[in-house]
Amino acid sequence: MNPICKLLNIQYPIIQAGMVWCSGWKLASAVSNAGGLGIIGAGSMYPEVLRTHIQKCKSATDQPFGVNIPLLYPNIQEIIEVVIEEGVKIVFSSAGNPATWTGTLKEKGITVVHVIANTKFALKAQEAGVDAIVAEGFEAGGHNGREETTTLCLIPMIKETVQIPVIAAGGIGSGKAMLAAFALGADAVQIGSAFAVAEESSAHSAFKNKIISAVEGDTKLAMKKLVPVRLLKNEFADAVSIAEAEGADRNRLMELLGRARAKLGMFEGDMENGELEIGQVSALLKEIKPAKAILDEIWLEYKSGLQRFNSLFHELNL
Amino acid sequence: MNPICKLLNIQYPIIQAGMVWCSGWKLASAVSNAGGLGIIGAGSMYPEVLRTHIQKCKSATDQPFGVNIPLLYPNIQEIIEVVIEEGVKIVFSSAGNPATWTGTLKEKGITVVHVIANTKFALKAQEAGVDAIVAEGFEAGGHNGREETTTLCLIPMIKETVQIPVIAAGGIGSGKAMLAAFALGADAVQIGSAFAVAEESSAHSAFKNKIISAVEGDTKLAMKKLVPVRLLKNEFADAVSIAEAEGADRNRLMELLGRARAKLGMFEGDMENGELEIGQVSALLKEIKPAKAILDEIWLEYKSGLQRFNSLFHELNL
């Protein structure tokens, strides 16, 4: 049996990434009901908002779901308390030191998965006692590693480094890419962008439409002097790009970024002044569909890829 | 039968990339003798030097081999004449407009494959009448596309765009990565970095040793204001990185680059002042081996990946 399906008690080794302003209870419960793992993204929620989302998610599905917690979150203590109080069974942590909270969560019987982008943090996460890791490549949307290692190069590196199961992320929005991740040794996939445009995603419809219209080259890794983040091209991203080409320092970038730009763009729908976080795979996304249809198509394409390989296997007389 | 094996009349769908200062007749003939396609990289050769390499390659193998020609080469007319006069059967063209020379080469019965990094040039190449294309992702060494599209995202885009066979390149140095490329729809793989450290590669031994010591994050895409190129970290690359962070313009970058730095590093072995072009996959390369051993290991790992998928196929009861 697939080690991630076993660990998380899910039908398909497909995990919907926790994403700010996209993945509330509606998306998470829809993915979980479809047989994957839905995740509520706590990064854009006040603790009491998160509590409401968890409660609604429990009402909307009897299947396992998780909560993604960026560990650098200002109210982290309260967020952890909410998760424990509400009896959440699975936490995906990211953006921070996995040693700080993994013990507390594990003591409460919570399964902990940590998101990393390099071998150093993969080892740290394993040492902290997490149950699995998500290895996220350069092509992923949102915040990203400084090494710029792509998923194709990262997954084999991480598999050589840790013994716990590895979930591949970054550039995966189809069954073909899922099969590629498995070829590299991944035990499961985490999919963000493709679920950001699900009907149940809480992203603004203008943002969803902009994602499915994106073409190659429309996302760029920006803000490398702060924390690297992959942005979709718009007026704001262009301004960042020009500032960076001119050698803008951290202060100028922080000033440009200002406050609450991600909410402005992704949730409120300001397509020019908002910060639009999405993966490179957006160029391959063509329509807005229910989460179940997205998951089913990915699984179907993955299976037909396996069938194609089975024919090749026999053709080569292996 | 595999369409690239058929087109190029080779045993394995594995192509050794033409690489400046690495791929002379020794490497090309070794790869061709091992059942892949060896390629002489004309980019670092005067026309008469190329002629000698072609002649020696013909003496060293009776198997098909190719010549890679960067179309922006200053003596391009002479290079094309040498290739035709010497009866070369396969040309991989890159870095330039495929419409300019494809017709001339095809008239002489030469198979033409063009290297691209985006859908626009994939279409241009198909329209120019090339027989296949190489689609090269962001993680590849040397010169690279402006869109920064990774191999994982690029291959499905290109497969949706053209009808001719597609050879995947960038980040592929193992059988696992080869299998991943096939999962994405590629018909074959082109492998650079892993062959740059072959015993038969003409790269300086200091460069080969630096490649196999490289770790994640040691290569970066630089010189984006000129032509993007993936460089291995050293004093020169650090100087470029600092200049770029300060907002250096084209002129300052050209001055920094100067002349003949690639030769200085890759061929003459100056590890600090030379320009060292290599792929991100260098972090996964561990030893210097004969080209045949490299190819055999990749093929073996690819086959065992297919076997693993065959078990999974049966396990899932497909």
pLDDT value at residue A257: 94
Instruction: Return the amino acid letter for A22.
Output: C
| Interface contact flag, A309 B307, Cβ < 8 Å | no
Chain B residues with CB inside 8 Å of A151's CB? Answer: 150, 152
Q: Percent of chain A at pLDDT above 70?
A: 100
Question: A228 and A146 in contact (C-beta within 8 Å)?
Answer: yes
Are A180 and A84 within one domain?
yes
Pairing mode, if any, of strands A65-70 and A90-94?
Answer: parallel
Are A104 and A219 within one domain?
no
pLDDT value at residue B68: 98
pLDDT-derived band at A237 (thresholds 50, 70, 90) equals very high
In a domain, A208, yes or no: no
Query: Which residue is closest to A217 within chain B, CA to CA?
Result: B147
Contacts (Cβ under 8 Å, ≥6 apart) of A216: A283, B118, B119, B147, B149, B153, B154, B157
Distance from CA of B150 to the nearest CA of A (A): 7
Distance from CA of A235 to the nearest CA of B (A): 18
Is residue B66 within a helix (H) or strand (E), and if so which, with residue range?
strand B65-70
Are B162 and B270 within one domain?
no
Q: Give me the residues of B, 266-285, that contact A with CB < 8 A.
A: 280-281, 283-284
Are B141 and B273 within one domain?
no
Question: A254 and A226 in contact (C-beta within 8 Å)?
Answer: yes
Residue A147 contacts B, CB cutoff 8 Å: yes
In a domain, A209, yes or no: no
Are A150 and A74 within one domain?
yes
pLDDT tens digit sequence for A29-79: 999 999 999 999 999 999 999 999 999 999 999 999 999 999 998 889 999
Are B217 and B239 within one domain?
yes
Q: CA B13 to CA A276: how far, in whole Å?
A: 40
- Predicted complex: ipTM over 0.90: yes
Rounded to 5 degrees, φ, ψ at B289 are: -140, 165
Are A192 and A84 within one domain?
yes
Q: Percent of chain A at pLDDT above 90?
A: 97
Total domains, chain B: 2
Are A219 and A160 within one domain?
no
pLDDT tens digit sequence for A150-182: 999 999 999 999 999 999 999 999 999 999 999
Q: Is the pLDDT of residue A317 over 90?
A: no
Are B186 and B236 within one domain?
no
Tell which phi-psi region holds residue B11, choosing left (phi > 0), alpha (psi between -120 and 50) or beta: alpha
Q: What is the mean pLDDT of chain B?
A: 97
CA distances from B58 to B45, B100, B200, B249 (A): 17, 27, 16, 45
Are B276 and B292 within one domain?
no
- Which strands make up the sheet holding B188-191, listed edge to edge? B14-16, B188-191, B166-169, B132-136, B111-116, B90-94, B65-70, B38-41
Distance from CA of A310 to the nearest CA of B (A): 6
Question: A13 and A5 in contact (C-beta within 8 Å)?
Answer: yes
Chain A residues with CB inside 8 Å of B221's CB? Answer: 148
Nearest to A312 among B138, B245, B306 (CB): B306
Q: CA A196 to CA B161: how far, in whole Å?
A: 25
- Paired with B90 in beta bridges are B66, B111
Residues of chain B with pLDDT under 70: 318
Are A83 and A162 within one domain?
yes
Q: CA B136 to CA B24: how far, in whole Å?
A: 21
Query: Which residue is closest to B308 within chain A, CA to CA?
Result: A183
Q: State the residue range of the domain holding B213.
A: 209-281
pLDDT value at residue A316: 86
Distance from CA of B229 to the nearest CA of A (A): 14
| Interface contact flag, A220 B312, Cβ < 8 Å | no
pLDDT tens digit sequence for B38-66: 999 999 999 999 999 999 999 999 999 99
Chain B residues with CB inside 8 Å of A117's CB? Answer: none
Residue B171 contacts A, CB cutoff 8 Å: yes
Q: CA B226 to CA A59: how far, in whole Å?
A: 56
Nearest Cα neighbor of A152 from A134, A174, A170 is: A170
How many other CB atoms sit within 10 Å of the CB of residue B239?
14
Question: Which CATH number characterizes residue B134's domain?
Answer: 3.20.20.70
Are B197 and B214 within one domain?
no
